[in-house]
Amino acid sequence: MALLETQALTANYGDFQALFGVDITLERGETVAIIGANGAGKTTLMRSLSGVLQNAPEQIQHKGTPVGALPADTIMKRGIAMVPEGRRLFRSLSVEENLVIGGQHKGGADFGDRLDSLIARITGAPDPALLAGGHDGQGYWTLDTIYELFPILRERRHTPGTALSGGQQQMVAIGRALMSNPDVLLCDEISLGLAPVVIKDIYAALPKIKETGASVIVVEQDIGQAMRVADRVYCMMEGRVTLSGRSSEISREAIHEAYFGATA
């Protein structure tokens, strides 16, 4: 059973269909990269996996449980954390508070979840809490270990999150997601807009993240970067997976064709 899997995943924005039957899998311990041109549907896929977009329940399976229709907060409590496109730090929170809030609601059903499932039972609605089982929220990542991973953040911990450089903000966004000790980490274009040397620093954290037990999906525009870090890659175009395979086995030509379409 895969750790995380989509089966014929479709997603819509109103009348606009953005995903057409996407199948991807993430096995325990793997790093998978999603590549594709602008508008291919990479972010839509990540939003679906993280619960920001709701899908049919069966279309996404986490440890064999259908989770496609669960809301983002429940998905997060199941152990799937996301570093969203554009970092999205909380501007009213300091660097440290941004990190703390990432771990504040981790693990298991809380009082609000229980109250909600009670209300659902009374009103006859399907139980929205379908629970956060299987993730104990304990683990390696704490404020201290995040600061060890990204020492610069310790120095800046009392500044507002949005007063940092782009690279530092990306570190906060990654740290914030790690604070819940996820078993799946979703990263949407963590290198976007950053200088090569900063990108290198950020990807240097990946081995340590893997070591603590997280499996990772990265969305990357930079094909070379994706091939270096990932065990397997999926290439998307216009809402479909056009190519998938082990990074070591697929050719540049095949990727080029899958990325830009057959006419390129």
**Which of other proteins, ligand ATP, Mg ion, none is residue 131 near (CB under 5 to 8 Å by kind)?**
none
Q: 48 with 82: CB under 8 angstroms?
A: no
Give the integer Cα–Cα distance in Å for 49 and 75.
8
Cα-based angle 152, 153, 155 (whole degrees, multiple of 5) = 70
Site for other proteins in 45-64 (CB under 8 A): 50-52
Q: Which stretch binds other proteins (CB under 8 A): 5-13, 23-31, 37-45, 80-88?
A: 80-88
Residue with tokens 């064999």: 64
In the structure encoding, which two tokens stand for residue 180, read together?
């819940």
Q: How many CB atoms lie within 10 A of CB 71?
A: 12
42 in contact with ligand ATP (CB under 6 A): yes
**Which of ligand ATP, other proteins, Mg ion, none is residue 210 near (CB under 5 to 8 Å by kind)?**
none
Nearer to ligand ATP, 19 or 89 (CB): 19
In the structure encoding, which two tokens stand for residue 177, read together?
């997601």
167 in contact with other proteins (CB under 8 A): no
Greatest extent of the chain over all pairs of C-alpha atoms, in Å: 58
Nearer to other proteins, 102 or 239 (CB): 102
Site string for ligand ATP, 55-94 (x = CB under 6 A): ------------------------------x---------
Site string for ligand ATP, 9-38 (x = CB under 6 A): ----x--x-x-----------------x-x
Give the integer Cα–Cα distance in Å for 43 and 210.
22
Give the integer Cα–Cα distance in Å for 72 and 219.
19
- Residues within the interface to ligand ATP (CB under 6 A): 13, 16, 18, 36, 38-44, 85
